[in-house]
Structure formats: structure tokens, C-alpha cells
Amino acid sequence: MKTTFLIILLIFAGFVMKDKWQAYQPSKGEQLVNSILAKSAKIINEKYNLRPCGEGASMPGGPIQEVTLCFNTKLPYTKSQLRESLIKSAQELLKQVNDNNEIQEFLKERPFNLKNVQVIIYNSEKDGREVFDPGISTSEISRGILTYQTVDASDTFKYKQEFSETYEEALKALSIP
């Protein structure tokens, strides 16, 4: 009797909850962002030997304000290598967004510019461990500013040093027009 009641209860709960368990359907803007981020991550991985590890978008209220990609290195990069990787990756991401005609109606600013893209690179040792000071652990380009951070091996929850430069300063340092 108890088993029969339990089975009937579970079946009934399944029918009632079915509507609540249906998969979330992303909007057209979200679908386009996801597609562009995946395509960009693949291109950057192939061109610059960076492993994709995350993505995101800022789109409160609907319009897309910013897109983000995160990567890991396969071996420790120098500041100069990180700078070049950040610039080229941000340029590629920006190109993919601006070259996609379908997404344009969903962008808050058209065309997107460097203030609308963020690329983060987590610098890793060959075995995948974090790089410690004096090496750079994390680098990013966000809102047109490149930032580099080092981590103290004795306190891995804090950044030991942080350096930043504008996009223009970074281009000069690399002698890229």
C-alpha cells in the first residue's frame, strides 16, 4: 500500500514539475554571444596557443555591453608574451563581434571597441601550477587597460604586485601600429 502510494505520488510530482524542469531557452542575443565566444576561443586557441577556460557576457536588461574570454597558458609566458597575447586576442574577439551582422542589433554600442571586450590569461607552469612572483600569474585587458598581477608563494590568496598600462602604451612597447 505504501509503495503504491509512493509510486503514484512520484508520478504525479513528475507531471506537475515537468513544466518547471524544461530547459532554459536562451534569447537570440544570448545564442549569438555564445556562438561568437566559442568561435573566437577556438580561433585564439589555434592562432596563439592559449587554452580556453571561460567565457562570459555583460548584458543586463538585454543589450550586450561586454564580452569576456579567459585562457590558460601551456607554459609560463613573459610580460612581453602576455602583452602580445592579450592585444592579439582582444583584437580577434573584437573582430568576431564586429564582423557578425546578426549580433549588431543586440549590442549596446555599435561598433564594439576595446572598452567592450575583456580577455584574461592565467599564466601557468608546464605542469599546470600557478606562476609565482616575480613571474606574472594573471594578466588581462579590460576597458582598454592591460593589467598584470603577481602572486606571493607564501600567501596565494593575495596579489603581491600589480602593474598596468594603457592599450596605446602596450602597442608602443610591442612596436605594433
Rounded (to 5) percent helix, strand, coil in the chain: 45, 30, 30
Task: For Cα atoms 132, 163, 143, give the angle at the middle one, nearest 5 degrees.
Answer: 115
pTM score: 0.84
Tell me: the pLDDT tens digits for 66-121?
999 999 999 999 999 999 999 999 999 999 999 999 999 999 999 999 999 999 99
Q: What element of type H or E holds 64?
A: none
Q: For the purposes of burial, counting CB atoms within 10 Å of the CB of 129, is it exposed (0-12), middle (13-18) or buried (19 or more)?
A: exposed
For the chain, which residues make up each domain, given as ranges?
A: 27-174
pLDDT in the model for residue 147: 98
Mean pLDDT for the chain overall: 88
Q: How confident is the model at residue 8 (pLDDT cuts 50, 70, 90)?
A: low
Tell me: the pLDDT tens digits for 144-167?
999 999 999 888 888 899 999 999
112-131 average pLDDT score: 93
pLDDT in the model for residue 9: 45
